[in-house]
A and B are shown apart, each in its own frame.
Chain A
């Protein structure tokens, strides 16, 4: 439950750009992994390979299910077990918070129910509980656009949690938040990983955030894995391997 296995995985975008090159690694159930790298190194691409949002070759196994070559319905089944959190939140701004959280339940209810908007009581309950888990339930009936950035990201997390996922993929979840809010959101994610045992992969820009919250670090450079190990082992040399230069204050949040 919640394991990920890359074997000679590559991602080639239409147009020929190879954004992920022959990656092989495995992530165990319940791990908290931080992925770092320069802009364009392929961090987002690596995350999207896991839920099949990008054209992927080689092999990606999610909980023993193969993503490469999966049919549409197999892909939906895999995706429904993998929650995703986005840098720009990707909420439906005009919809209420609770409806945004309910989007995480879409794959779990029959088609006729979603068409008529007839949500089963259990699914509403799960959505509200997800909101409670990130302390935002009092805004359940407020429009998403009326929330602050940090609150919106918590709704984004609640939407992922509503899927009752085995894996959470967070693509730079704090990049558009201020430092204080960033720490709050990171703590939320850490707590969810600890309490619910959900395997968590997070792309981060800031190295100190990675150090503070991560255990395992994966460093990407030009689509290749150049570091994969304990975050405590990251020294200047490793850093240079990932970023091609020494640490500067710009790489730190605070």
Chain B
């Protein structure tokens, strides 16, 4: 005896969501990234990429038809075979230009992906075909470049390993800094446990200030002298020089673009990986969502230590571990840098969430991880996206700096030109950095406003 009639109610159709456009893109870029690192390409990889894409489309509920899987695999084989053909016929190291040519295969494959999406879901705009094409092409170029820069693809691009002395020195430096950081972390925990934080903090600030004043030998006279030389300095730096020979006896070329892309990659890899790793950590490091008190303390302690180690020290450490000038070192350093910031910001945001939905999830018999994923994460998702973009901005700047200590990227080039006292070339590099940081910041601010 139903007093209501469900059959008279109209179910709305599910509207398309932005995340559904993005899922195949993300899967595609990840797949090409992995394949770029794996080196040899061919029909087998093409099949794999087609299947990965189909998996993403399956997940996003866009298509579950076998025919679409067939189209994607066929397109994957075609794209990969072209890619392979370009690379096999190369006459030298894989550079930016060759990567672009090879990526055309992926542009075609991306368009195929877009076509399948549009075919399966006519409500999705036609521009998705173009968007997919561009993203796959970009992803492939990036992947290829990363693989080259990291010396995976060809020994041609391998970089020399530093000598043992420097290694020992930097490892020692790392250990000392690590111990100091751990000491500060322990001290802070102790002072909070004993409820004497203010005493501890003021003491610390006092001691550090006195030490700093002694060390720097602060002098206004020096500043005045330098200010008097400003015209002289400007002459050295202006006008900027954009081209110089790569090595002695070679013609002038524009050498900034490759290390610049390397820096961009370091920043992207660092931000993406670090932000992903920070996600579970942040929920462990908040009392609201930690599975237990022990887990909370371990996560919090780990973050305290990671956070007190500066990005430069991470750069030195990883440059020692994986080789000087290797961008992989920069990427690892940026991962730690991003992880520390994100985990701290996010865990503090999680502290302030509404626990009602968590209680509802628990009462419904959900597991702890499910409660976090479905009850807590949606509450902090906009913050997470905003922090991630902000961290990407920070990473661009930080990855320039860590190039100075041997972590690859444009910082390495800047340091090299500076050592040759080529101030006008330094100026050109600085201008490139300045403009691109500005552009990325604008993009990031725009994206944050769109997404939040």
A interface residues with partner B (beta carbon < 8 Å):
51, 53, 75-84, 86, 88-95, 99, 102-104, 106-107, 111, 114-118, 128-129, 132-133, 135, 137-138, 140-141, 156, 159-160, 163, 191, 195
B374 close to A103 (CB less than 8 A): yes
Distance, CA A205 to CA B369, complexed state (A): 35
The contact of A90 among B59, B360, B366, B382, by CB within 8 Å, is: B360
Chain B: minimal CB distance from A71 (Å): 13
Distance, CA A86 to CA B354, complexed state (A): 14
A128 close to B367 (CB less than 8 A): no
The contact of A92 among B59, B365, B378, by CB within 8 Å, is: B378
The contact of A107 among B3, B14, B365, B378, by CB within 8 Å, is: B365
Distance, CA A111 to CA B366, complexed state (A): 10
The contact of B363 among A84, A115, A135, by CB within 8 Å, is: A84
18 extra interface residue pairs, beta carbon distance < 8 Å, beyond A78-B365, A82-B365 = A84-B364, A86-B356, A90-B357, A91-B356, A91-B360, A93-B354, A103-B357, A103-B361, A107-B364, A111-B367, A111-B370, A129-B6, A132-B6, A132-B11, A137-B9, A140-B11, A159-B360, A195-B1
A114 close to B357 (CB less than 8 A): no
Chain A: minimal CB distance from B295 (Å): 15
Chain A: minimal CB distance from B370 (Å): 5
Q: Which residues of B contact A93 (CB under 8 A)?
A: 354, 379
A138 close to B362 (CB less than 8 A): no
Q: Mark B348-381, 1 if CB is under 8 A from A, else 0.
A: 0000001011011111111101100111001101
A79 close to B11 (CB less than 8 A): no
The contact of B365 among A80, A90, A129, A132, by CB within 8 Å, is: A80
Distance, CA A114 to CA B364, complexed state (A): 14
Q: Which residues of B contact A141 (CB under 8 A)?
A: 12, 14-15
Interface secondary structure of A, over-half rule: helix
Chain B residues numbered 90-149 whose CB sits less than 8 Å from any CB in chain A? none
A106 close to B12 (CB less than 8 A): no
Chain B: minimal CB distance from A220 (Å): 20
Q: Mark B1-42, 1 if CB is under 8 A from A, else 0.
A: 111101001111011000000000000000000000000000
Q: Which residues of B contact A92 (CB under 8 A)?
A: 357, 374-375, 378-379
A159 close to B359 (CB less than 8 A): no
What are 16 sample pairs from A and B whose C-beta atoms fall under 8 A apart? A88-B356, A91-B356, A91-B357, A91-B360, A92-B379, A93-B379, A99-B378, A103-B360, A106-B370, A111-B369, A114-B370, A132-B9, A137-B9, A137-B11, A159-B360, A160-B364
Interface centre among B11, B362, B363 (most CB of A within 10 A): B363
Distance, CA A104 to CA B367, complexed state (A): 12
Q: Which residues of B contact A118 (CB under 8 A)?
A: 59
Q: Which residues of A contact B363 (CB under 8 A)?
A: 51, 53, 79, 82, 84
B2 (CB) vs chain A CBs: closest residue = A195
